[in-house]
A and B are shown apart, each in its own frame.
Chain A
Amino acid sequence: MSSESKPKKGKSSLAKRRALFSWLIPLANLRITLALLSFSMVLIFVATLEQVEIGIRGAQAKYFESLLGIWHYPEQFWGGEFLNPVPIPIPGGWLLGGLLIINLTAAYVTRFQWTVKKFGIQLIHLGIIMLLVGQLVTQAIQEESRMQINKGESSNYIERFHGVELALTDVTDPSRETVVSIPQELLEKGGSISSGDLPFEVTVKSFGPNCDFDAVSSKDQREGSSKEVDQGVGHSANLSIKPKSEDYSSEAMNFGHLVFELSDETGSLGTWLALAHPAGNHWWKESPKLADLAFQPIRHKGKLWGVTLRAKREYLPYSIELLGIANEFYQGTETPFNFESDIMIKMEGNETRRALVYMNTPLRHDGKTFYQFQMNNAADYTVFQVIRNPSWLVPYLACIIVSIGLLWQFGFHLVRFLRKNSLQKA
């Protein structure tokens, strides 16, 4: 009896809600849902194909993190030469995700029956809303960095995979360093930058996220803005740069470049070239001529400054020491079965904690997660991928909610099915 009275109650509350939010009814239409789902299929398919051309990061930026992406039919496919020039608009992830959330929410209010019997359906859709919102939030705020540590050494900073900064370090006093860093956004804006901590003004002559560079034999052969360089490595190694657009593919090597002039009240001090190495500026040390790109010394009024364009850095309130690494392969194959870093986290106040980081077992510490990313057994260093994603828990919660919803709904069906079967047998 009670099971019959409940649905009615649910239905009457539904009628009330429909009356109250009648303007939402058209938005909750299932046909809209079907259309949005179909467009999502197209979006995902096209974006997957595009990964071949522009890489995952490129496809993500162009399709998933946009309102509308323009797609061209691949030239190498059948009929590609005729179809390729036609621009095809593909609704993007922000658009479809947003519309799906609106559609679902409207359905919640104006169509779902808030009853025990349909409770599972509601939970499932709630979980899906959470997954969608969680993904939108994650894409907006997640930060990816890397941390390289040599065996026996410690590191207390992480570097972003993308984005650079100009760092000016006062190293006059060997016991303490003062770093002034100018973020990429300011460099992109251009013009002159000054700060109270800097005795000189930085004027951006040219900046770009990627370039080809080459050592030429004389100053005349240099191209573009590198012609103006008259100080530092750019001058001594006669570097010529050719700006390129940023490569978004996963194996991309983007060399950020900056030509800048320093000046103080007496006038110009000269023009420098700085290049950022995509795998970290310590790699410049591999080639003797360019080694200084990691740290170009500038003497100014009795002080020694070092200047470098480097991956954007974040200093941590703790440091990590690499005690050892293990890189093991199945015998007689090139298939690895273990990458493992043995580390010691040194926190403030001499507190330490030892940890093993290996495949499928990251280290979570202080809101960041450290994953085993790369490793060089011969050179004895390890690289962690470091991710800060405050919303990492959301998908887990969403999964639990969806699972409960599914179990609820299937449990209902199963009970009904068994009851029906036993009735038939009786």
Chain B
Amino acid sequence: MKKHSPIRLGILIALTLLGAWVCFFPNSFGTASLFDFAKDPPVPPADSFDLDGFSRIPVLRGGRVKPIDSVARNTLLVLRNKRTALDADEEKVPALEWFVRVLFAPDQADQLKTFLIDHDQVLGLMGKKLASDGKHFSYAELEPHLAEIESSAREAGQLEQEERDSFQQNVIELYRGLLLYRKLKNTLTPPPVPSESSDMLDEIGVAEVFFDPDKDSDRTAEYKRFRVLTGVIAEQPSLIEMGSSEFAKVVFFLDHYSRANMWSEFFPIPPEANDPLEKWLAVGQSLVGEEPLDSQEKRNMDPRAFISTLRELVALSPDELRKRITAIRETQKMNPTALFASQYAEAIKLRREVDPIIGLYEKLGISYRANDFATFNATVAHLRELATERAGEAGSTLHFEKAYNGFEPFYRSSLAYVLVFIIACCSWLAATYSNSVGKSDSTAKMLRDTAYVLTGIVLLSHTFGLFGRMYIEGRPPVTNLYSSALFIGWGAVLLCFATEKYLRLGVASAMGSFIGAGSLVIAYNLSLDSSLNPTGDTMEMMRAVLDSNFWLATHVVIITIGYSTTFLAGFLGIAYVFYHLKSALFGKSEGKLKKTLESMIFGITCFSLLFSLVGTVLGGIWADQSWGRFWGWDAKENGALLIVIWNALLLHARFSGIAKTRGLAAIAIFGNVVTAWSWFGTNMLGVGLHSYGFMDKAFNYLMAFILSQLAIIALAYFPAFVKMLIKLASKLISSPPPNETRT
């Protein structure tokens, strides 16, 4: 690199800095930069809401403790495929601002455009048109059509997933989105009692217990009154009887709060101090515990036995009661009477306080609606401290995750990969130009060096992104289809970077950056696929059989490297085909590059075979451990085997001399088809034990990709085909007509 002239060196350094800026520095591609990981959280502002502090409060959603920031981003991603909502003037509203309004000022949130509907028939269901009404809608706009949407979705839900058409699929997604939105609104505020039961409310005299905005400062007043009611019964178990008004009130609120649990999208209350299971709680759970069975089972209770059991339980001392409850839940799993009595007894006797976290969230809501910055910000600080402390070990990655969310390492990397690809292509243009005019190719050389150095920088940011996920999840890099796409790109780029170190041709840089950008785009689209990723969080929890870091780290990682090297060989094959076409077009003989590409394809396929074989065999061992057979002809297993066989076939074709450079390239390109099938196609079949990543939307993309690869293979043989045609034609012309030869 020292050999460059000062101007060229300057361009190299400038482009490198541009890449580093895209990848790491503060810019508009992400809301956070690399520096934010090291910095302390910002000081709360005095003249506005401390939303940054708010976004760092830990909650539990999808089985994982995460900052509110992640919940806000992920839910909006599910609803609108974007990290922003739109207000009435089509101005962008950041996820966090949207989220705080959903929680604390739902009337305002209902006016924000939160839902993306781009299916014409779903729009038609509501009498709307894409051209005039757009595709972004607020909850307020959709509310009048809830009944139609629900009935269509229910109808579609009767069908198996594979049998649904696109309208049915889309209407189900919209319905799920609406449900998610309503659950978010009700997570901190239990939904009101249905109006038709208002007569009953008067009858049993519970109206005065309910929250009254005129008299009470916040909802905790209602919860405290409920505790007073249960306190009376806890003191006098004899009040537990049919017809007792005290007991009727308690039963009413127990049911009311239990129902609220179903409307909780996440768990805001960290584990209680004495809970060995460290369970996070919804508001309703904190008030009355959790229903031990589906509410429907209440119909199967024996009312008399229920009353007597409950009375007996409430009369016990708290310690004895705890033991009895554990015993009931362990031994009487089929007995709704005993089970529901255990929940009621827990709510009456054991849950005596209102959790301070509930009060703090209430305070946040009130100060937000009153535009009281000082109280809001002070409450945020208090709530954050308390919740993080109670979250314990699970709260240790919150700061990192918040910065990681804003950093968007994969978005930045994909942009930088595009830059590398452009530079590598420019280097070829420069080389062709200097070749044709006979000048030295120092500019091309500079560009190749730039592409190489830049690849290294993007690789750093891509690697940082992967490690960040691993740190947050505490898992090996590949845990689902989304992360496999991240990893396949990463592996291919790493190999290209190493290849380019020895063979500075610009080819490996170009192919590496192409695969890198492509895989990140695929990953982004996978993260939007609601059938793969219903919570919008790509760091989801793993089902039991996959829950093994050892096998994830060995089998899954190795097999994924096998995918990525097979793709790399395929893309080098494509590079050769275009080189071959170029040579044929300009009538030049193929130079050194031909041999170089051939040996690169060969070398990388050796790697592919190694990794895919070892990965497949490790998979067999894992399968033997968990399913009891080494090999079961499962769709995903077969897919992996196809890659192994295809790589072996390529190597043997070269050993035997049957395939030369062009043949090898064609075989390698078909390897892309085989790998794409194994990676995605097998998931589309919806059969087998591995179908944890079922998907149907990508089918057309897969078909298009396969066709494109076949077309490129055909192109490889096109020059030879044309040559043959010309030969044939010339033969026909030059050879004399048959009847003349006779004479």
Contacts and interface: CB of A to CB of B under 8 A. Distances in A.
A213 B361 CA distance: 59
B544 A34 contact: no
A38 B649 contact: yes
A23 interface: no
A31 B626 CA distance: 38
B649 A56 contact: no
Nearest to A60: B633
B298 to A, nearest CB: 16
B632 A331 contact: no
Interface in A390-423: 392, 395-396, 399, 402-403, 406, 410
A378 B548 contact: no
A359 interface: yes
B687 A51 contact: yes
Given A138-B630, A338-B544, A333 B63 contact: yes
Nearest to A131: B617
A339 B546 CA distance: 12
Nearest to B278: A331
A64 B633 contact: yes
A337 B648 contact: no
B551 interface: yes
Interface stretch (A162-170, A198-206, A310-318, A379-387): A379-387
A337 B633 contact: no
Nearest to B677: A45
A41 interface: yes
A41 B645 contact: yes
B733 interface: no
A147 to B, nearest CB: 12
Contacts of B633: 47, 51, 56, 59-60, 64
B621 interface: yes
Contact of A378 (B333, B610, B688): B333
A141 interface: no
Given A37-B649, A37-B652, A49-B685, A335 B625 contact: no
Interface stretch (B449-457, B510-518, B634-642): B634-642
A34 B652 CA distance: 7
B267 A332 contact: yes
A360 B625 contact: yes
**A: contact size bracket:** 35 or more
A330 B539 CA distance: 13
Contact of A51 (B60, B624, B645, B685): B685
A40 interface: yes
Interface in B25-63: 60-63
A250 B687 CA distance: 9
A44 interface: yes
Contacts of B267: 331-332
B545 interface: yes
Given A331-B280, A371-B626, A336 B645 contact: no
Nearest to B265: A332
B279 interface: yes
Interface string A348-380: 000000000011111000000101000001111
B543 interface: yes
B170 to A, nearest CB: 22
Nearest to A327: B544
Contacts of B617: 131, 395, 399, 402
B622 A48 contact: no
B614 interface: yes
Interface string B386-421: 000000000000000000000000000000000000
A86 interface: no
Contacts of A84: none
B333 A377 contact: yes
Nearest to A376: B333
Contacts of A33: 652
Interface string B605-623: 0000010011001001110
B645 to A, nearest CB: 5
A30 interface: yes
A37 B63 contact: no
A362 B541 CA distance: 23
Interface in A18-50: 30-31, 33-34, 37-38, 40-41, 44-45, 47-49
Interface string B333-377: 110000000000000000000000000000000000000000000
B252 interface: no
A94 to B, nearest CB: 14
Nearest to B649: A37
Nearest to A250: B687
Given A51-B635, A403-B614, A378 B652 contact: no
B461 to A, nearest CB: 30
B627 interface: yes
Contacts of A37: 645, 648-649, 652
Contact of A360 (B614, B622, B645, B655): B622
B263 to A, nearest CB: 13
B638 A48 contact: yes
Contacts of A60: 633
With most chain A CB atoms within 10 A of its CB, the pick from B334, B687, B688 is B687
Contacts of B547: 337-338, 359
A330 B649 CA distance: 44
A424 B610 CA distance: 28
A378 B330 CA distance: 10
Interface string A122-151: 000000000100110010001010000000
Contacts of A41: 642, 645-646, 649, 674
Given A48-B685, A56-B688, A402-B613, A371 B280 contact: no
A52 interface: yes
Given A377-B333, A392-B630, A331 B279 contact: yes
Given A34-B658, A56-B687, A359-B547, A330 B652 contact: no
B629 interface: yes
A52 B684 CA distance: 10
A399 B623 CA distance: 14
A40 B645 contact: yes
A389 interface: yes
Given A31-B658, A335-B543, A339-B544, A362 B649 contact: no
Given A369-B628, A392-B624, A395-B617, A34 B638 contact: no
A250 B674 CA distance: 26
Contacts of B632: 56
B621 A396 contact: yes
Given A47-B633, A360-B622, 15 more contacts: A34-B658, A56-B688, A332-B61, A332-B266, A333-B541, A336-B543, A337-B547, A360-B548, A362-B625, A362-B628, A371-B627, A380-B333, A387-B628, A403-B614, A406-B610
10 contacts: A41-B649, A44-B645, A45-B677, A52-B686, A55-B687, A331-B279, A336-B543, A359-B547, A385-B627, A389-B629
Interface of A: 30-31, 33-34, 37-38, 40-41, 44-45, 47-49, 51-52, 55-56, 59-60, 64, 131, 134-135, 138, 142, 144, 250, 330-333, 335-339, 358-362, 369, 371, 377-380, 385, 387, 389, 392, 395-396, 399, 402-403, 406, 410
**Considering the complex of A and B, which 9 residue pairs feature the smallest CB-CB distances, nearest first?**
A330-B63, A30-B656, A387-B628, A330-B541, A371-B628, A333-B63, A359-B544, A37-B649, A395-B630
Interface of B: 60-64, 266-267, 279-280, 333-334, 540-545, 547-548, 551, 610, 613-614, 617, 620-622, 624-635, 638-639, 641-642, 645-646, 648-649, 652-653, 655-656, 658, 674, 677, 682, 685-688
